[in-house]
Amino acid sequence: MPAEGRFRIGSATKTFTATVVLQLVDEGEVSLSDTVEQWLPGVVRGGGHDGNRITVRDLLQHTSGIPDIPKVPAMSSAEGYRAERMRTYSPEELVGMALRQRSRTSPDHAGPKAAWSYSNTNYVLAAMLVREVTGRSWQREVTDRIIRPLRLENTGVPATLPLIPGPHAHAYTTFGAGNGRDPGTDVTLLDPSVAAGSGSVVSTTHDMNRFYKALFDGRLLGAAQLDEMTATVPAAELGEGLKYGLGLAEIPLTCGGSYFGHRGELLGYRIWAGISHDGARSVSVYVTSDGGPGTEKAMLTLVDEQLCAGRR
């Protein structure tokens, strides 16, 4: 494991995407109350889905009711991975796959707002919205608005590049069929278009800590937009006591209080990253295999211990 090895940060990408959208909100280019239909007309329709009733806030907060993207072959089995690891997906194709499933809102749309439910589709749509608002790709906006200003030299947003440039450890997965002894299939090579907007950023633990610190010290968002990002709703689907804002989860600390951060996973790479409320201390931990529930617990414990240590 290289000390500064790069890896796919998976869903921690969502914090980057939400940051770009909130910057556009601050610039008056878009509003959190705008509907998906306003910016992406006709994209979210049919099967109980209605873009007129889904706002930008709903996308970032996972309260849209839009189902997650079904697992593609490259994510489902070793055979599927070998056959389709180089396949490129368009955002429109990914959204179409998700929308073939029924909406999680009430059938007649007359009931209450959709319950919180995690869906990568929300952030694929957010990336499409960024492209529509700015006229430039989501990848370019993340690069120009976050990566370059913060000088995150080991962070990148590949569109379809399947390689991880620079030092990196290989990732492995058993696709859910492991016996605890076999590391599984080497899945380092992957066309990341399957996770555009939702999970395709490549980074390092050092750069992730820099990103979160910049987010909380005002270099990326003003106070009003950071308040929007950190205003959370219950997200029991993620775990007991967890809440979710706009691209950020709020996780309880064993020493009292909570911290903000995000979990990420993309085919053999996993990360837990977090930062204290005052932005004084941040922690990022990553692994390169399935690991199982014991590994997940160890990652969370390490983040918790380090953030609690900063309060003693």
* Residue 2 falls inside a structural domain: no
**pLDDT tens digits, residue range 264-295?**
999 999 999 999 999 999 999 999 987 767 88
**pLDDT tens digits, residue range 237-263?**
888 889 999 999 999 999 999 999 999
**pLDDT tens digits, residue range 108-120?**
443 346 789 999 9
The predicted structure's pLDDT at residue 112: 43
* Residue 267 falls inside a structural domain: yes
Average pLDDT over residues 17-35: 98
Strands (E), the chain: 7-8, 45-46, 49-50, 172-173, 185-186, 202-203, 233-234, 243-244, 249-252, 258-266, 269-276, 282-287
* Residue 15 falls inside a structural domain: yes
**What's the domain count of the chain?**
1
For residue 203, CA distances in Å to 39, 110, 183 come to 30, 43, 23
- Residue range of the domain that includes 277: 7-309
Which secondary-structure segment (H or E) carries 34? none
Return the percentage of the chain with pLDDT > 70, whole number: 93
Catalytic residue check, 200 = no
Domain CATH number, residue 284: 3.40.710.10
Please measure the distance between the N-terminal and C-terminal CA atoms of the chain and give it in whole angstroms.
31
* Residue 1 falls inside a structural domain: no
Average pLDDT over residues 105-133: 79
Q: Supply the pTM of this predicted model.
A: 0.94
